[in-house]
């Protein structure tokens, strides 16, 4: 049989797999008595099925605002000013309220920060899980819904008996895994975990992260992990996004990020991690993160950057994608390292 090569024809290259998530030029502004604060400034990135993106940065950099904006859960005085959040080819920002309500949990799920406060203390765990399914499948039989809930609990290594328990009967790690179980009830394409290991001891942190890894593989979801712990990110994500003053200043594969960070802020975050070579020596980042009401001119990081030049204080750097696919927003980076 004649092949494409035999006939002189080149084989058709495989089509690239489209991303399951595209965030394009997302902007969020808070209107306060003191002025206008831009909490998200032109944030864009993509994520494929099965990928894990770690989003890091100091408090107030816009990480949680990004998560809430993607879920369309920004409350006044905040306002989503523009941009698109495309999941499976459909822009969630263009949906009406009823359409977005159905998209939450079925297409995009949010695991909130602080499981202690996100579960209803006077309602059994099972009732809260059933309510989540009923909001999307009101005609599904009671037995089928309960079976699905117990299967979700088993998938996060919890006993089905937790279905009949109250939140106060669970440990912190168990509560967090219940939140993960609720998040995967309808097999969403995208899972956003907002600091899922905060207030947990290091052993439980690892158990929770391994649980997220496990359920991600089971449903082939894309995961956005928001947090401060760069060490934890190094162990569990595929690529890292660094946020500063509402902007996404760098996105790189996790190994490249830790080996050769491009943005000076990324470099400073990694340098602040303790290491065995310099035991007892801790290196911080000088200065404080700027107020979103009074951002510096040019690059917002330039007052704290030890390598800043005149252009950094005068001209706002553009977002650039390098040949390797790494994304950086910095005047000091003009080529691959």
pLDDT digits (tens, 9 = 90+) for 166-184: 999 999 889 999 999 999 9
pLDDT digits (tens, 9 = 90+) for 31-51: 999 999 999 999 999 999 999
Query: What domains are defined for the chain?
Result: 21-237 (3.40.50.300), 263-273+284-337 (no CATH)
Is pLDDT above 70 for 7? no
Q: Can you give 307-332 as a three-state secondary structure string?
A: CCCHHHHHCCCCCEECCCCCEECCCC
pLDDT digits (tens, 9 = 90+) for 255-295: 999 999 999 999 999 888 777 676 666 777 888 899 999 99
Query: If you ran DSSP here, which 8-state letter would residue 77 be given?
Result: T
pLDDT digits (tens, 9 = 90+) for 191-223: 999 988 877 888 888 888 999 999 999 999 999
Is pLDDT above 70 for 99? yes
Nearest-angstrom CA–CA distance, 285 and 304: 7
> Degrees (nearest 5) of the Cα angle 105, 245, 63?
20
pLDDT digits (tens, 9 = 90+) for 281-332: 677 788 889 999 999 999 999 999 989 999 999 999 999 999 899 999 999 9
Is pLDDT above 90 for 247? yes
Is pLDDT above 60 for 241? yes
Q: Which residues pair with 279 in a beta bridge?
A: none
What is the pLDDT at residue 163? 96
What is the pLDDT at residue 284? 79
- pTM (whole model) above 0.85: yes
Residue 266, CA distances (Å) to 45, 247, 330 in order: 17, 13, 11
Is pLDDT above 60 for 2? no
């Amino acid at each position: 049989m004649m092949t494409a090569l035999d006939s002189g024809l080149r084989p058709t290259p495989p089509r690239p797999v489209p991303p399951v998530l595209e965030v394009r030029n997302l902007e969020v502004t808070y209107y306060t008595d003191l002025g206008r604060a831009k909490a998200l400034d032109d944030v864009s990135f993509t994520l494929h099925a099965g990928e894990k993106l770690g989003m890091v940065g100091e408090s107030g950099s816009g990480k949680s605002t990004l998560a809430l904006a993607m879920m369309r859960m920004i409350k006044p005085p905040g306002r989503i000013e523009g941009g698109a959040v495309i999941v499976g080819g459909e822009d969630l920002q263009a949906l009406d309220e009823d359409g977005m309500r159905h998209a939450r949990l079925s297409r995009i799920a949010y695991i909130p920060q602080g499981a202690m406060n996100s579960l209803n203390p006077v309602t059994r765990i099972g009732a809260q899980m059933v309510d989540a399914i009923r909001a999307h499948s009101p005609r599904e039989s009671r037995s089928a819904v309960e079976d699905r809930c117990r299967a979700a609990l088993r998938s996060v290594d919890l006993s089905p008996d937790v279905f009949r328990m109250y939140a106060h009967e669970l440990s912190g790690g168990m509560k967090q895994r219940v939140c993960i179980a609720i998040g995967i009830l309808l097999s969403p394409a995208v899972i956003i975990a907002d600091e899922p290991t905060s207030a947990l001891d290091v052993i439980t942190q690892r158990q929770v992260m391994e649980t997220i890894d496990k359920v991600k593989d089971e449903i082939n979801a894309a995961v956005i992990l928001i947090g401060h712990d760069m060490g934890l990110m190094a162990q569990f994500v595929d690529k890292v996004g660094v946020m500063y003053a509402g902007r996404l200043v760098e996105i790189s594969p996790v190994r490249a990020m830790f080996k050769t960070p491009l943005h000076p802020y990324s470099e400073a975050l990694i340098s602040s991690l303790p290491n065995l070579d310099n035991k007892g020596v801790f290196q911080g980042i000088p200065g404080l993160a700027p107020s979103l009401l009074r951002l510096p001119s040019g690059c917002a990081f330039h007052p704290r950057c030890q390598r800043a030049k005149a252009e950094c204080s005068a001209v706002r750097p553009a977002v650039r994608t390098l040949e390797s696919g790494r994304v950086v927003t910095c005047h000091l980076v003009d080529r691959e390292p």
